[in-house]
Amino acid sequence: AQSVTQLGSHVSVSEGALVLLRCNYSSSVPPYLFWYVQYPNQGLQLLLKYTSAATLVKGINGFEAEFKKSETSFHLTKPSAHMSDAAEYFCAVRTQGGSEKLVFGKGTKLTVNP
């Protein structure tokens, strides 16, 4: 069975500081991995996805993530936080070629301080 663990339910950074949101996955077969962002009272929006091509994936709004098979990780980073990045971020996993079912982590709420 697949699972996702997001370390830290809340992360707080200063504007302009590095953003690092951690995601570790468990999957017995090669995974597809996703990061979604949810702004208050809105649905989830895809930030980026890993589908077995390049291990460093660039997404929207300056975010990127690196797939590290040896560490079963897919951490999300952004070099410089902006106030508009304050939101909740979800990591998700699904198997390649299998069910379309996405398994989500519990989410990490990012606060950006001025």
Partner 1 sequence: DAGVIQSPRHEVTEMGQEVTLRCKPISGHNSLFWYRQTMMRGLELLIYFNNNVPIDDSGMPEDRFSAKMPNASFSTLKIQPSEPRDSAVYFCASSFRQGYEQYFGPGTRLTVT
Interface residues toward partner 1, by CB under 8 A: 32, 34, 36, 41-46, 49, 51, 90, 96, 99-107
Nearest distance from C-beta of residue 30 to partner 1, angstroms: 12
Least Å from the CB of residue 49 to partner 1: 6
CA dist 88 and 92 (Å) reads 13
Whichever of 19 and 107 has its CB closer to partner 1, that residue is 107
For residue 33, how far is the Cα from the chain centroid?
8
Q: Facing residues of 28 across strands?
A: none
Task: Indicate the residue among 17 and 59 with the shorter CB distance to partner 1.
Answer: 59
Shortest separation between residue 80's beta carbon and partner 1, angstroms: 26
Cβ of 83: how many Cβ atoms within 10 Å?
Answer: 9
Beta carbon nearer to partner 1, 17 or 64:
64
Question: Smallest distance, Å, CB 104 to partner 1?
Answer: 4
CB contact at 8 A, 60 and 49: no
Label residue 97 left, alpha or beta by phi (over 0 means left) and psi (-120 to 50 means alpha): left
Q: With respect to partner 1, which residue has the nearer C-beta, 9 or 12?
A: 9
87 is written with which tokens? 């939101």
